[in-house]
Structure 1
Amino acid sequence: MSDIDIENLAYVDIQHDALAVFDDVEQGVILSEDIWISGYKAGESSVHGKAKITFREGGGSDITSRDGVKVDRSLSSKTNFNVSIPKLNIDNCTVKYPKQIIHPPYKKTSNLDAPLHINSLDLNPKSPHVVIGGPHGYCVILPTSLNSTEKEVQLKGHVGDVRDVKWFPSGEVILTASSDLSIRIYGREGINPRTLRGHTRAITSTHILGVGKQILSASKDGTIRLWDVGKGEEVKRWLIGLESRMTIEGMIVVEDPQLLQLLGLGLGEGEGEGEERVMILNVQDGIWIQPFSSTEKGSGWFIKNHLNSQLISMDQKEGLVVLGYMNGVVDIIDLVRLRKPSTSKEAEVEVGMDRIKRIKRNESPIFSLYLTSTSTGDEDEVDLYVGTSSGLPCLLGITIREYGFEVETKEELAGWEATGIECWGKVGDNVWCAGGEGGLRRY
């Protein structure tokens, strides 16, 4: 895939505290102040404009744009703006600021420690709560309701960085995994009735099977392990790699029978018969595909990364796979591209189902990717949230055509300084993201 052209997407960056400027002007603290707006696209000169925010008699504020940019405030929401930069062919790009920001309670052990860095978040499927994982064992349940007086619940026990957190489907139990080599189960009151141990290096990903009687965990030790939660013991193990073990940085589990067929599995005869699921693993220099049914060495296969950059993030939904790299590139591919090479039982590939799109906004490493269905429910469209090491999160729209994928920037998600966006979550129309600043933002 290394010789595929990269489509460079233009993007917009607005002063991260612009809403505070509007508030100061509208409250009469100051009569006017500038905010800056920048537009970028690889291969073209960047545009740096300003907009003067001035007090309006009778209440509110006025915006006067200049220097090649045009900014309008949305009539439906004071946190949304429309930006046009004609020189870069940016027309009415939606820029959203957070509707809500939560700063979790976090006490540094010393002044030399960095601020809270949120590694993982998960939204409760049954109630307005979020669980987050951070450094040095920091793990907490927070209410997400506006103006809630409910206290947070600390999940104590981990001593290493909490790398992955998940609610069980019931919304009453939480699964956590850490670099301290342990997996823990908590009740939502903070009680830890079960701790699972066995991995020899940091645990990077987990997956809950069904209602949660069993879970999967993936680790930098090159193994995936299946655990019986009730018994608190390992029941199955896969060693990833052929000559030597591969470090696992991330895991996606595919269980849909139609998607398994795209990978050449679950067709009901011969190898792969009765396949229930497959694990797709980020091993930095490529992707390892591991069928669930077999633990034999070599039962999985490796898809080498021909892009000259390390793979650091990925997600999968509805037959699409998105891959994010250290050099800022995002690959959008059909799941069928990950099928086992040179097998006698190839997947039946529909016409046009070998599509790939390679995009890039800038050089910032792609820290997080999150695929989700569009708000319109269109089967030919998928939403992709992207977070990078330098902030600038965005929502991209992917349209699935017979000949390939079309990608457009639907929203820029402003309000971040230059800090990494590590994780995403969505319930209904509410999208949350978090990362290096320690705050959770809802858009």
Structure 2
Amino acid sequence: MSTDPSSDPIILPQVALQHDFTSVFADIRDNTVFSEDIFLSCYQLGLRPVHGKVNASHDESVASPDGILLESRDGVELTRLDSHTFTASCPALSIVNTILRAPRQGFSINPIENTTNVRRISAFDVTSNAALIAIGHYDGTITIQSVSTPSDPEAQKFPLTTKKLHLSSVLSLRFFPSNKVLLSASSDLSLNIISATPPSDSNSLELLAVPRVLKGHKAGITDTAIIGVGRRVLSCAKDGTVRLWDVGKGEKISTLASERFAPIVKMAMSGRIPSSAIPPEPVETADSQTDVDENVIYAALQNGAFNVFDLRTRNLIYASPTSRISSSSKAALGAIAVDDSSYFLATGSQGGFIRVYDSRYLPPQSLFTFQRSNSSIEDLHFVPSKDGEGAPQLLVATGDGFPFCASLHPDGPKVAEELVGFADESVTVIRTDGKGAVWAAGHDGIVRKY
């Protein structure tokens, strides 16, 4: 089987709705304008794109929340299901009733009047109870703010707080399971353990206090992971290493090196050991803990390959062949994700290729490759399964500003939903919270909740 992810990829269509269509709807609803056209474009690699228009006008007889009538033309069809959900069709490209999902909320710390110096988002996370969000920027600042009052009566609302906690780009943010502590990583070679609990009358800690800093990487830290309840954390970096840390002691436990110390750009953690992995010899260390024993790390490399590490032995157990794509910049991986319920492993490249593997085996078995455009894959995230039934869902953040959700069927992938609202700006992070909402953030400085 070819190791080139560009060989015979499945080409998926792409639907783009005018990013500010909600403003158009608001103007019509407020009688600022009577009607206006919005653009709906459909694409498929190798085929001529279709650029259609949809006229939006006010009609009180229309059975919709705001009485807006949609009339499509020029080869496209847009149908409104509710205030945030649409379907789009384009017969010429065999696109039928693709779901378009509009954001329900948007969050930004950029002043409304600031349209030239937007603070781009480089990292993001949301707590499992969807109460707090953390935003990282390229200038080293981190923002934490409350989203809504959580159902947990002991949880506190966190005031909007922005603070420069790193010397350069924040490249990873992860909330601990407690939702009260945040792990940040930066290209300045440091990891910060940050308090995400506002001070009370009996607590003199300042907002976003940093009680612990972890240092040791020799190049920029690109991703992190939290093991169990958070006594141990992982970091990976462009120095070609994954490091395991003891948070309480503030010390490195061990270092795992990628093949030939290739720079690591992202990693994903699994609780399942591949069936063909060699049973480990006991690791006799004072720091051994059961929350480390059953974890496997999949590391995406800048050279287009991925490595697999076994934390039971602290060893590299598999290194995939490097890609044979002619352009090394397009071959470089930019994202990786693993889903323990479906056994799917997915990698995304700078050339827009997403390759899906069966992670039950070593080496992982390649299942299929798909692509929508030549734009980079910035982030991948599996949607947690609620009942174990149905096709696994993979969220994809892209460099062209068209994030989407792919449904991974046995016979190949399908576009499940388009996440609309971005204006051709790179989407760098995509996540889910414990309540089922999808969050996406990127270079336009806005966090969107779907």
Q: Tell me the TM-score normalized by structure 2.
A: 0.84
Q: Which amino acid aligns with 1:64?
A: E
Aligned counterpart for 1:144 among listed residues 138, 144, 147: 147
Distance in 2, matches of 1:394 and 1:127, equals: 21
Does residue 422 in structure 1 map to residue 428 in structure 2?
Answer: yes
Distance in 2, matches of 1:218 and 1:329, equals: 23
* Structure 1 partner of 2:277: 265
Q: What value does the CA root-mean-square deviation take over the aligned residues?
A: 2.7
Q: Within 5 A, what are the aligned runs for 1:148-159?
A: 151-159=159-167
Shift of 1:437: 0.6
Contact kept, 8 Å, 2:212 with 2:250, in 1: the verdict is yes
* Structure 2 partner of 1:173: 181
Shift of 1:324: 0.8
In structure 2, the CA distance between the partners of 1:35 and 1:168, relative to structure 1 (3 Å rule), is same
Contact kept, 8 Å, 2:140 with 2:165, in 1: the verdict is yes
Q: Which amino acid aligns with 1:287?
A: F
Does residue 55 in structure 1 map to residue 93 in structure 2?
Answer: no
Aligned residues: 410
Distance in 2, matches of 1:240 and 1:106, equals: 42
In structure 2, the CA distance between the partners of 1:339 and 1:141, relative to structure 1 (3 Å rule), is same
In structure 2, the CA distance between the partners of 1:171 and 1:266, relative to structure 1 (3 Å rule), is farther
Cα displacement string for residues 21-57 of structure 1 (whole angstroms, at most 9, x for unaligned residues): 1111121111111111111112222111111112225
- Counterpart secondary structure, 1:392: coil
Contact kept, 8 Å, 1:85 with 1:91, in 2: the verdict is yes
Moved segments of 4+, more than 4 Å = 105-108, 111-114, 266-271
Contact kept, 8 Å, 1:179 with 1:201, in 2: the verdict is yes
Shift of 1:290: 2.1
- Counterpart secondary structure, 1:373: coil
Cα displacement string for residues 217-272 of structure 1 (whole angstroms, at most 9, x for unaligned residues): 1111122222111111112122322xx4221111122223xxx133x22647899x
Contact kept, 8 Å, 2:101 with 2:418, in 1: the verdict is yes
- Counterpart secondary structure, 1:21: helix
Cα displacement string for residues 294-327 of structure 1 (whole angstroms, at most 9, x for unaligned residues): 457xx54321133512211111112111111121
Cα displacement string for residues 264-300 of structure 1 (whole angstroms, at most 9, x for unaligned residues): 22647899xx96322211112201222224457xx54
Q: Which amino acid aligns with 1:384?
A: L
Q: Within 5 A, what are the aligned runs for 1:252-291?
A: 252-256=268-272, 260-262=273-275, 264-265=276-277, 267=279, 276-285=294-303, 286-291=305-310
Contact kept, 8 Å, 1:326 with 1:366, in 2: the verdict is yes
Aligned counterpart for 1:236 among listed residues 240, 254, 262: 254
Q: Which amino acid aligns with 2:441?
A: A
Q: Within 5 A, what are the aligned runs for 1:357-376?
A: 357-374=368-385
Aligned counterpart for 2:15 among listed residues 12, 15, 18: 12
* Structure 2 partner of 1:409: 415
Deviates more, 1:247-256 or 1:25-34: 247-256
In structure 2, the CA distance between the partners of 1:292 and 1:137, relative to structure 1 (3 Å rule), is same
Contact kept, 8 Å, 2:13 with 2:42, in 1: the verdict is yes
- Counterpart secondary structure, 2:24: helix
Shift of 1:153: 2.7
Does residue 196 in structure 1 map to residue 214 in structure 2?
Answer: yes
Aligned counterpart for 1:82 among listed residues 81, 87, 99: 87
Contact kept, 8 Å, 2:195 with 2:210, in 1: the verdict is yes
Aligned counterpart for 1:130 among listed residues 107, 112, 133: 133
Q: Structure 1 vs Structure 2: percent identity of aligned residues?
A: 29
Shift of 1:363: 1.1
* Structure 1 partner of 2:338: 316
What are the ranges of 5 or more consecutive residues in structure 2 without an aligned counterpart?
Answer: 150-155, 199-207, 284-289, 326-330
Q: Which amino acid aligns with 2:320?
A: I
In structure 2, the CA distance between the partners of 1:38 and 1:163, relative to structure 1 (3 Å rule), is same
- Counterpart secondary structure, 2:159: coil
Deviates more, 1:422-431 or 1:97-106: 97-106
Cα displacement string for residues 180-209 of structure 1 (whole angstroms, at most 9, x for unaligned residues): 111111111311111111111111111112
Q: Which amino acid aligns with 2:18?
A: Q
What are the ranges of 5 or more consecutive residues in structure 1 without an aligned counterpart?
Answer: 341-353
- Counterpart secondary structure, 2:354: strand
In structure 2, the CA distance between the partners of 1:336 and 1:100, relative to structure 1 (3 Å rule), is same
Q: Which amino acid aligns with 2:264?
A: I
Distance in 1, matches of 2:300 and 2:132, equals: 29
Contact kept, 8 Å, 2:274 with 2:359, in 1: the verdict is no
In structure 2, the CA distance between the partners of 1:430 and 1:196, relative to structure 1 (3 Å rule), is same
Q: Within 5 A, what are the aligned runs for 1:428-443?
A: 428-443=435-450
Distance in 2, matches of 1:44 and 1:240, equals: 40
Distance in 1, matches of 2:148 and 2:308, equals: 40
In structure 2, the CA distance between the partners of 1:73 and 1:425, relative to structure 1 (3 Å rule), is same
